[in-house]
Every structure is written in C-alpha cells, then in structure tokens.
Structure 1
C-alpha cells in the first residue's frame, strides 16, 4: 500500500482533510488537486517527507487534470457546491474527472455524492448529484459512490451555522421546516469508510453506499440539542411557518443564515438512509452520534467557553 498514490480532487476541503489524514497514516502517498493548492498546505505536516504532493487543477477544466492524475492508482472527487452552477461543477466536473482518470489508467475512483441524490428530486442540487453519479459510472462502471447524510464535525457548515445563530439571537431561534429529518454523520466516520474502500477496493467496486449516523433527528431536535450543548436551554425555538420560510427562500435570506430557493426545496424531503441501502455495516464501522463528539467544538459557543457550566451557560 505504501507504493500507492491517490489523487484527491478538492482534498483540502472539510471531508478531504480527514480522508487525507487517514490515508497518510496508512502509508499511502496522496496528491491534493485544488484550484488554489496553497489552501491545502496545512495537510503536509500530517504525513512523512515526500508523502504529500500538491497540484493546481480544476475539474471544470479538463486540460488541468492530466498532470493531477499522472501515475495515480486511485482518485477521489470531493468537489461539491451548495449554490451556483450545479451542472458545470457536479455533472460536467465529475465527468471530466472520471474520464481523465480512465485515460490515465487510474484503477479505482470514489465519487462523493449525497443522500437524496435522485433524478426525481425537487432540488437542482439533488438532481445534479444523481447526474454526477451517472456521469462517473459512464466513464468508470465500477466506481465507488459514497452518499453521506449531513456531515458534522469541528469545521462543518451545518451544526456550526446553527450554533452561531443560537448564540447570536436574544430570545428565539428561528427554525425552518422543523419536522424535516436528518441522519447526521460524523466526518471522521465517513472518512474511515472512504479509506477502507480504497484499502480493499475489490470488495467495494461498483457499489453505492449511503452513510448516515446512528440517530435520525428532526431539524427541531438538532437545534434543541445545540441550545442545550451551548448552555442556552432557556431559549425557545420559533418554528418558521412554511409560507414565511418560502418567502424568505425566494428572497435568498433568512436572518443570520443565507438560504437559497434550491435549499428550501431540499428541506421538503427527509435526508436519511434508505431502508435497503448499503451503509456503514459494509465497512464494519459503528458511526458515532452527534452527542458523543460535539462538545469538543461546540464549547466555543458557550458564553464563557470551557469555563462555563453547560446547563446554565455561566461560570
């Protein structure tokens, strides 16, 4: 395994940094391919001398991908956006990366998708994720597809966003679509699954995995957990009426938390693992619940930080 090289498109992102760390621990060489490689230089100290490479590449520009994949044994496409040109980034970009990998003789390819990816989905985001899977499989039929639910961790843009709002608002925390359900999954557990797939690819090629945590929580329950965790249990949750939420989404703004119309459409469906889907059990991984790890970083949102009484938010 020490002789293998894995190219990671978008490897300096939230999930990518955890996968990079695990691959480096396994002795695998990695090549981080980013539009701005300098943004990922923080990964270099995680590995040994010469174990990490960096290259400028943009999956929407096929000519930049040849050098990124030269000599690679496997590739992972982490690149994804929540707003913008989904067709260009998710679909065309994924197709470019997979076709370039095939042309370079790369044996294994992992596409990071998302739970809810479907051609029949209401949101453009979810439809583009389904189309990206098709584009990858057209080029590399035995590519491995990973569909995580909402991923949480110290650098996430989900739990941290709501925690920041909860700390900022004086009395009531606005929550849109409070009954929509999620299956939050810890970033390190998703990374573990990706790395296990690459360490034993023969067991996972051509398969799609839906990765969700051990708990299914509503948007209301997630926000209540956050309030309790940051020492704000007395704050109330204001359940934003659908008519108001729809209007805010049309305007593209919810106080303290931007939301697009496409994100509003995504909130109309639950974000949970399908009943018959392959998941963490295929990797012999027991995913960790939000409560098991959230204190490690949610402490920053308490009034007095680590010196606060979590129940009261005070010293």
Structure 2
C-alpha cells in the first residue's frame, strides 16, 4: 500500500503544490484544512481516492490527531499574517505548530517537515517573526528529527505578492513600497514544494534549511521588474517607515471599527517585518543540500502576470504587429 502523508494547510498557496508533487511521487495525500469542501480541486492531483481533503482545526488536539492518525509523514504548511482573531499568528504558527509536532511524535509518524520563514526570530520586532521562531522551537522540542524549511518571499500564480502589486498597477499611477531598500531572495512556490518532497524522502535531511532563489533584489527592484513584465510605466515611491507605520495603524483602527469592511493594505506587523532583509544567511543549508536548483524569477513571472498587461493575452500579438509596422524596430508599448 502507498505511504500516507498528512499536509496541514494542504489547500493553501504552498500546500497545494506540495500535495501535487507528493501525489505524483506516489503518496496517498490527506490534505488537512478548515474548509475541505473548498479544497475539492485537490482530488484532481492524483488518481481516484489518492488525494483527499479532510477537516482539521490546528487549534484542537482531537482534530489534529484524527488528521494525523495512520500517516507515515506529516507536512505543516499552515501559516498566517493575521495578528487578531482566534486563528492569529500565535495560535497557528506557534501553538498550532507545536501541537502538530507533539501529536505527530505521539502517533509514531516517521517524518515531519515544517514550513517556517526566513527571518524567524524569537526576539524579532514583528509578531510574525516571533511566532515563527517560537513555533520552530516547539517543533524541534517535540520532534527532534524534524526538517524545518525557511523560505524567503514565495511567488507563483496564486501569490499575494506580485499579483497584488500588478493589480494595483492597473489603475494606480503610483506603486507605494515600504522598505524599498529591503532585500529579498524570492523563491518559486514549486521549488519550495520540491524541497518538501526531498525532505520527506531523505531520512538524513533533518535540520533547518533556508530557501532562496538564485538572485537577491531590493523591494524597489522587484517592483520595477514586475512593471517591466506587465509592460506598464508607474512611479515606484518609497514610503518612510514612520509614515507607513502611522498609515498602517490608522487602517487597522478603521478595519476594526468597520468589522473588517474597511481595507487594510498593510498592517503594523508587516511594516515591522520590512525593516529587515529577507535573504538566506551565510553558511545556512539550502536548496543545494537537498539536491535542488531553484528557478530564476525572470523565467516564471511572465507565465502568470501576463493578464495584467494592457492587452492581456493579446499583448505579444499586438507587440509583433507594432514591430512589423515599424520595420522591426518597434518596442513594446507601455501603459
């Protein structure tokens, strides 16, 4: 019988790629999530019955145990930027991570892979960084053989990073960024999934791995590259941290007072995160130690950001027509 893996957050951005790769690798996949009826698309990743979404509440012992029971391996992809509510960062990334690791050990699971983040720091300025670090400590304490993966900012077709700013560029003449000089090492979501599979399959891979793409860019440079891909000219304006923090606090109050109806483009916690570079540390284990060559960002962005171009899917055809009319010397139009 095929081995069974339980993936917490299996229908999320990273989790769905992990589920698809493990199913392709022959595993039976139990995708544990809060809304299994909204995760039925996962079933198409394997043969009939191979991938099954199941309900799990990472805040509840019995729910977590039911999702883990009988599994050979567990992957925890659950994470959040929320700092309020029952499913906030402390509940999910700290106590939830510890709960998954403890119960996985109690149930005799042979392999545990935990997704954390570069910048995890128990003494960090942001709640996100602190809960990630405390979650790692609980995981290591309960399951000493666990593999902890720390990716930089993860991008891909369903991301909330490039898609968000590209959507903004459709209507806004300005792209505001906080921490324009902060450095990132973007990593493609399917490369993170490949790292998970490698960690699950390799019994000698225990430890912490920091995952970054082949290139390091500042926040401002990333926005400029995104604008180049979607062929739009916009001003990239860096907001001072003080002003950004004030705006975030005002937006947070408005969001609370309107019971979530007022938009909150950025939170005070995210502003705090942007004070620090998000790149692989010198000497850290990474993709190479897992036998993976990460893909270059430039090779992937156009595959899913094309819909934000002025002419969408017809952009290349329009550009070719302009080049023909211009005798081959034309250049793509920018909006």
Give the alignment's TM-score, normalised by structure 2. 0.88
Task: Please give the alpha-carbon distance, in whole angstroms, between the structure 1 residues aligned to 2:304 and 2:49.
Answer: 32
Task: Please give the alpha-carbon distance, in whole angstroms, between the structure 2 residues aligned to 1:66 and 1:123.
Answer: 30
Q: Is there any run of 5+ residues in structure 2 with no aligned partner, and where?
A: 253-261, 320-330
Counterpart selection for 2:175 from 173, 176, 192: 173
Q: Contact conserved, 1:119 with 1:127, CA < 8 A, in 2?
A: yes
Task: Please give the alpha-carbon distance, in whole angstroms, between the structure 1 residues aligned to 2:13 and 2:53.
Answer: 17
Q: Contact conserved, 1:228 with 1:311, CA < 8 A, in 2?
A: no
Task: Please give the alpha-carbon distance, in whole angstroms, between the structure 2 residues aligned to 1:272 and 1:48.
Answer: 38
Task: Please give the alpha-carbon distance, in whole angstroms, between the structure 2 residues aligned to 1:187 and 1:151.
Answer: 6
Q: Contact conserved, 1:6 with 1:75, CA < 8 A, in 2?
A: yes
Larger Rg: 2
Task: Please give the alpha-carbon distance, in whole angstroms, between the structure 2 residues aligned to 1:135 and 1:70.
Answer: 20
Which has the larger displacement, 235-244 or 182-191?
235-244
- What SS does structure 2 have at the residue aligned with 1:156? coil
Task: Report the alpha carbon displacement of residue 142 of structure 1 after superposing the two structures with TM.
Answer: 0.9
Counterpart selection for 1:198 from 163, 180, 200: 200
- May I ask how many residue pairs the two structures share in their alignment? 309
Which has the larger displacement, 303-312 or 152-161?
303-312
In structure 2, relative to structure 1, the CA distance for the partners of 1:131 and 1:57 (3 Å cut) is: same
Deviations 1:188-238 (A, max 9, x none): 1111011011122x1202x10000001111110011011111111x32212
Counterpart selection for 2:278 from 271, 296, 301: 271
Residue in structure 2 matched with residue 226 of structure 1 by the alignment: 226
Deviations 1:230-285 (A, max 9, x none): 111x32212223332121122236x9861111100000000000001000001121
Q: Contact conserved, 1:22 with 1:191, CA < 8 A, in 2?
A: yes
Q: Contact conserved, 1:12 with 1:40, CA < 8 A, in 2?
A: yes
Q: Contact conserved, 1:77 with 1:110, CA < 8 A, in 2?
A: yes
Task: Please give the alpha-carbon distance, in whole angstroms, between the structure 1 residues aligned to 2:67 and 2:242.
Answer: 47
- What SS does structure 1 have at the residue aligned with 2:149? strand
Task: Please give the alpha-carbon distance, in whole angstroms, between the structure 2 residues aligned to 1:110 and 1:29.
Answer: 16
Residue in structure 1 matched with residue 314 of structure 2 by the alignment: 307
Task: Report the alpha carbon displacement of residue 185 of structure 1 after superposing the two structures with TM.
Answer: 0.3
Task: Please give the alpha-carbon distance, in whole angstroms, between the structure 2 residues aligned to 1:237 and 1:256.
Answer: 21
Residue in structure 1 matched with residue 325 of structure 2 by the alignment: none
Q: Is there any run of 5+ residues in structure 1 with no aligned partner, and where?
A: none
Task: Report the alpha carbon displacement of residue 112 of structure 1 after superposing the two structures with TM.
Answer: 0.5
Give the alignment's TM-score, normalised by structure 1. 0.94
Task: Report the alpha carbon displacement of residue 313 of structure 1 after superposing the two structures with TM.
Answer: 4.0
Task: Report the alpha carbon displacement of residue 140 of structure 1 after superposing the two structures with TM.
Answer: 0.5
Residue in structure 1 matched with residue 328 of structure 2 by the alignment: none
Counterpart selection for 2:111 from 94, 100, 108: 108
The answer on 1:57 being equivalent to 2:56 is yes
Residue in structure 2 matched with residue 261 of structure 1 by the alignment: 268
CA RMSD of aligned residues (A): 1.8
| Aligned counterparts, 1:283-298, within 5 A | 283-298=290-305
Q: Give the 4+ runs in structure 1 shifted more than 6 A.
A: none
